[in-house]
Amino acid sequence: MVSPSDKKDRRQIVLALAVFSIGSTNASYSDIESSASNSFSSGSVDLSLSDALLDFGGFVPGFSESQSVTLSNLGSLDQNYQAAISQTGGDTTFCNALGIDFSTAQSLLVSGNSINFPVQVSFTDHSPSLQNKSCEFDITFSAWQVGSDGAWGLRDVEVLSLTLSSGSWDESPPVISGINHLLATPGESNRPVATITWNTDELATSNLKWRIAGSSSWTFLSDDASADSLSHSRTIEGLLPDTNYQFRVISKDASGNERTSATKAFHTDGIRDEISGLSGVVINEFLPNPKGPENALRPGGEWIELYNNGTDTVYLMGWYLEDGQGHGLTLTNINTTHESIAPHGFAVVYRNGNPSFSLKNTAAGDTLSLFDHVGTLQDFHIYSAALGDSVIENKSFARYPDGSPTWFDPIPTPGDNNILDPILDFWITSNRNFVGFNLKNIQPFTALSYDLVYGTDGADQGLDGSDLLDHQDEYIKENLILGSRTTGGTPTYHQGIHNLQLTVTLSNSEGLELVLEKSLE
């Protein structure tokens, strides 16, 4: 009990009161009264979470999402706050595989203010054992009055409880089938290319690695990241003649499941001389494996082109061709385009339904011989896998240049000059504002069209065009603008140029058509 005299001497009585759980939240409250100053003051620390809590739902590998919860300072005092996380239940392996990212730094929240507090959740692990799992955890928000170190003074704690769950996902990689290779010659002698094709049972990427047989390292073609093809094709360029190569195709589906094929192999052709002193009529080109029936009536089926290296016109009727089994094909005005062949002229002999003469398509190959009307051997050519030849559908064997001792496998051109496969070069300027392309070995073609598609920082863009050709050997198209330009105005260039895909189609009036493609990153 305090005596009246004590009351007189004690001029100030301080009452401190702490109240917790104001409303529906945990909070701290203080009340200070002073008789000396005849004043009243109070303060509170009250951190509130918004009613709209985070909801991430089930997800699969590749999931990444950010959501926010609102933090509000409902107290009268400025406060510091800090967040921490703890697992409270669920599958620990799955919890450890989650990426949960938020700020754990100490931050200031002024009285009466609110902020959005973002939480980022990601998941990348494709392990089948993580399917249909859950993880339970708390994010604890601790708040304390400014000026305190958090160990004393007014404090508040709010807890955000979350449950994250995974769904089911595809863990089966694509099935690869039908792997084939096509050898071609794109213009430089002794530097063939190989086009590799394959199929998958679901949409997948088209990637490939290759090496010279015996090498310890692989060369990868430019990466294809789009799982958008069932039929795949990639081209290996700059190969050496008479060389063994190995390759593997690689396809990945949209779920990230990847399959690599077994190692496949091919051998590039070398250069071989046949009969020396090619001064007369020679075998210049032949097609042993046409599309469709091999003994079809002309102009289908197998055919053999002759070329006159001499200076005199030669009458061909009665001459004959012979395969490696001794089956003959006699030249007549029914199966041969010309009865006589002029100097530096051509004549094409078609199998035209002959039931016995046949050029083999197996690895063992065959021998093709040409005899004149009295049975004198004029020319022959041997082809087989042992000599590096590949009997590919609709790919001819041909001398290049015409009548020379050098054999390659260019585009079939019966009755016309042999040509090497066209070459397409494609480039972009250093400032990435213009592109251009160059074509070589295009003599048989009389028209071209081109189509370019590319990505930008905005939507995908494209441009196209066409032109007539006059049997020239080379064509150049430069300064195609990657943007727009009004007449006489300043050009506006697209930004963030990437993934440029150029398609060029060559054609002529005789129905020959060839599609070439190039891409740039």
Supply the pLDDT for residue 65.
87
- How is domain 423-520 classified at the CATH fold level? Immunoglobulin-like (2.60.40)
Measured CA to CA in angstroms, residue 317 lies from 93, 281, 299, 433 at distances of 83, 13, 19, 61
| CA atoms of 431 and 481, how far apart (whole Å) | 11
Q: Is the pLDDT of residue 515 over 60?
A: yes
Supply the pLDDT for residue 409.
59
Model confidence at 46, in pLDDT bands (50, 70, 90)? confident
Q: Residue 178 in contact with residue 231, Cβ under 8 Å? A: no
Domain ranges across the chain: 50-166, 176-267, 281-408, 423-520
Q: What does pLDDT average to over the chain?
A: 80
176-267 and 281-408: identical CATH topology: yes
Measured CA to CA in angstroms, residue 16 lies from 29, 87, 145 at distances of 10, 38, 16
pLDDT tens figures, 209-220: 999 887 788 899
Measured CA to CA in angstroms, residue 304 lies from 206, 285, 300, 324, 335 at distances of 36, 6, 12, 15, 11
Answering whether pTM is above 0.85, one says no
pLDDT tens figures, 347-402: 999 999 999 999 887 777 788 889 998 888 888 888 775 555 667 777 778 876 77
Supply the pLDDT for residue 413.
62
| CA atoms of 308 and 370, how far apart (whole Å) | 13
| Other beta carbons within 10 Å of 325 | 11
Tokens of 26: 């945990």
| CA atoms of 411 and 421, how far apart (whole Å) | 6
- How is domain 281-408 classified at the CATH fold level? Immunoglobulin-like (2.60.40)
CA-based torsion, 479, 485, 490, 491: positive or negative: negative
Model confidence at 269, in pLDDT bands (50, 70, 90)? low
| CA atoms of 250 and 80, how far apart (whole Å) | 54
Supply the pLDDT for residue 19.
33
| CA atoms of 397 and 411, how far apart (whole Å) | 9
For residue 434, the one-letter residue type is F
In angstroms, how far apart are the furthest CA atoms of the chain? 153
For residue 336, the one-letter residue type is T
Yes or no: domain 176-267 corresponds to CATH 2.60.40.10: yes
Among the residue ranges 53-57, 328-332, 350-354, 436-440, the one predicted with the least confidence is: 53-57
Supply the pLDDT for residue 419.
58
Class level of CATH domain 50-166: mainly beta
H helix or E strand, kind and range, residue 229: strand 229-236
| CA atoms of 229 and 28, how far apart (whole Å) | 63
